[in-house]
Amino acid sequence: MFHYPQHPDPRAVTPDHLFSTSAMSQRVPPTLDVGALYERHGGVVYRRILQFYPRQQAEEILQEVFVRVLATQHQFRGDSHPATWLYQLTTRHCLNRRRNERRRRELLGCYGDPSWACPVTPASQETVAFLEQIWRELDEETLEIAVYTYRDGLSQADIAELMGISRRTVGNRLTALTERARAAAGLEGA
pLDDT, one tens digit per residue, over 115-127 is 433 434 444 566 6
Nearest to 142 by CA among 170, 110, 115, 119: 170
Provide the pLDDT for residue 102: 83
Which fold, 18-110?
Answer: Rna Polymerase Sigma Factor; Chain: A (1.10.1740)
Burial class of residue 65 (count of CB atoms within 10 Å of its CB; 0-12, 13-18, 19+)? buried
**Stated pTM of the model:** 0.48
Task: Name which of 63, 67, 68 is nearest 53 in CA terms.
Answer: 63
Indicate whether 146 pLDDT > 80: yes
Does residue 19 contact residue 78 with C-beta atoms inside 8 Å? no
List, for residues 77-114, the tens digit of each pLDDT value: 888 888 899 999 999 999 999 998 888 777 666 444 43
C-alpha–C-alpha distance, residues 49 and 43, integer Å = 10
Q: Provide φ and ψ at 98, rounded to 5°.
A: -65, -45
- Does the pLDDT of residue 56 top 70, yes or no? yes
Domain limits, the chain: 18-110, 120-190
| SS3 at position 6 | coil
Instruction: List Cβ neighbours of 95 (8 Å cut-off, separation of 6 or more).
Output: 52, 140, 143, 144, 147
Q: Which CATH entry fits the domain spanning 120-190: 3.60.21.10, 3.10.129.10, 1.10.10.10, 1.10.3860.10?
A: 1.10.10.10
Q: pLDDT over 90 for what percent of the chain?
A: 31
Amino acid 123: pLDDT: 43
